Amino acid sequence: MPIPPYADLSPRTTPGVSVVSDNHDSSASFSSGTNRPVYGKVGRVPVGIGRRRMRVVVTGGAGFVGSHLVDKLIARGDEVIVLDNFFTGRKDNLVHLFGNPMFELIRHDVVEPILLEVDQIYHLACPASPVHYKYNPVKTIISFAITNVMGTLNMLGLAKRVGARFLLTSTSEVYGDPLQHPQKETYWGNVNPIGERSCYDEGKRTAETLAMDYHRGAGVEVRIARIFNTYGPHMCLDDGRVVSNFVAQAIRKLPMTVYGDGKQTRSFQYVSDLVDGLVALMDGEHIGPFNLGNPGEFTMLELSEVVKETIDPSATIEFRPNTADDPHMRKPDISKAKELLNWEPKISLREGLPLMVGDFRQRILNEDEGKGA
C-alpha cells in the first residue's frame, strides 16, 4: 500500500525534548513508488495542483531573521521545526506559535547531529552578533568555528541522508573590506584571515565551501544566500549591530555611538524583504550564491540622521575609535537575484525603521520595568 503524502515517518519530537536518532537510511524509504514526492524536485509544483505542504527545518529559528522566516513558512501552510540552542535567540520571538500543530521548537545545538525527516533545511544557526567576538574572542571563535563547521556539516549530512534541500545563510562579510564596489557574487573578497573579525568571516566562508563540496561530491541540493545588513523587529537589543545600537540608544536617550569618522557606508535591508528573498531562493532552481540586501547606501552619519528623524530629533552622537578591519563600504549588486529569483527589496530605510521602533520601545520598557526603573 502506498505511503500517503506527509505520512509521519520520522521520530516525533516535542518541544524541549531531544530527538533520538536511529541508523536507518531514510532516503531509501522515500523513493519513487510511494506517494511521497521524489526528493530533488522540491519546490516544483505541477501546473493545476496546489502547492504541497513542506516539512521544513529552520536552525536558529528563535533568532531575529529565523523567527520572521518561520512566520512566513507557517503562514503559507508549511510544517516547521525550529532547532535552536538559544545562544542569542529567544522563545519570545516564537511564543505566538506555541500550541500551533504545524510548529515544533526543539532546544538543540547544531554541533550535535540530529535526524529529522524533512524536505527543506534553512540553516541560520550561528552566533551572529559582533558584540561577542569583540568582548570574548577566544570563546566566540571556538563557538563560531564549531558552529560554522560542525553545525553546517551536521545539517548538510542530514540533507544528504533524507534528500532535503539545504539553504545556507552566508553573509556579505565573506567580501571582507571589499576592493570592488558594489560587490558582485563573482568577487572573491578581501578578508584578513588573522584579524579581529576573521572568526565570523572565515567561518562563513568555510560554511560556503562545505555546502558546495556536499553539492559537488554528494549531490545535495544547496542554496547559498549572502545576506547584507538587515534590521527589523526581534533584533537583539544590545548585539552591537549599528541599526539596533542607534535605535536602542535613541529610545534610551543615550548618545548614538559612531565608530571612526562615521563616513563608512552600509546598506540596510528590512527583514521581510530578506525573508522573501530566502524563500524565493530556496524554492527556485538556482544554487547561488546570491546577494540579498538593499542597495540603498548610507553613511553611519546619514543613518543616525534617519534615526533622529524617526525617534528623537534631539538625539546626539558620540564618536569612538573604529574596530580594526571595519569595512569601508558595503553595497550589494543584486542584479543576479533580480534576474534569476525575480526578487528585489521593496522597503526603504525610512519606511522600515518605524516598523521596528514599537517592538524596541516595548522591550526596553519591559527591561526597565524588570529592573524596577
Ligand X SMILES: NC(=O)c1ccc[n+]([C@@H]2O[C@H](COP(=O)([O-])OP(=O)(O)OC[C@H]3O[C@@H](n4cnc5c(N)ncnc54)[C@H](O)[C@@H]3O)[C@@H](O)[C@H]2O)c1
| Interacting residues with ligand X (CB under 6 A) | 59-60, 62-66, 83-89, 109-111, 124-129, 147, 151, 169, 171, 227, 229-230, 236
- Please report the beta strands in 95-221, taking only residues with DSSP state E, as ranges in sequence order: 103-107, 120-123, 165-171
Spatial distance between the Cα atoms of 88 and 86, rounded to a whole number of angstroms: 5
Q: Annotated catalytic, 187?
A: no
Q: How far is the CB of 132 from ligand X (least distance, A)?
A: 9
Q: How far is the CB of 155 from ligand X (least distance, A)?
A: 10
CA contacts within 13 A on the Cβ side of 138: 0
What are the grid coordinates assigned to 39, written together?
526528493
Instruction: Please say which residue, 124 or 224, places its beta carbon nearer to ligand X.
Output: 124
Instruction: Please say which residue, 151 or 163, places its beta carbon nearer to ligand X.
Output: 151
- Per DSSP, 230 falls in state E
Single-letter residue type at 360: F
Q: How far is the CB of 42 from ligand X (least distance, A)?
A: 21
- What does the angle CA 216 – CA 40 – CA 202 come to, to the nearest 5 degrees? 40
Annotated catalytic residue within 122, 133, 175, 200 = 200
Instruction: Please say which residue, 106 or 311, places its beta carbon nearer to ligand X.
Output: 106
Spatial distance between the Cα atoms of 91 and 148, rounded to a whole number of angstroms: 22
DSSP secondary structure string, 72-91? HHHHTT-EEEEEE--SS--G
Spatial distance between the Cα atoms of 253 and 217, rounded to a whole number of angstroms: 54
Spatial distance between the Cα atoms of 268 and 142, rounded to a whole number of angstroms: 29
Instruction: Please say which residue, 86 or 188, places its beta carbon nearer to ligand X.
Output: 86
Instruction: Please say which residue, 59 or 304, places its beta carbon nearer to ligand X.
Output: 59
Instruction: Please say which residue, 36 or 132, places its beta carbon nearer to ligand X.
Output: 132
Q: How far is the CB of 146 from ligand X (least distance, A)?
A: 7
What are the grid coordinates assigned to 173, written together?
562579510
Which of 170, 157, 164 lies closest to 209, judged by CA? 170
Q: How far is the CB of 65 from ligand X (least distance, A)?
A: 3
Spatial distance between the Cα atoms of 84 and 282, rounded to a whole number of angstroms: 20
Q: How far is the CB of 170 from ligand X (least distance, A)?
A: 7
Q: Give the containing element (helix H, strand E) for 206.
A: helix 198-218
End-to-end Cα separation, the chain, in angstroms: 65
Strand partners, 225: 169, 290
Q: Which residues are catalytic?
A: 200
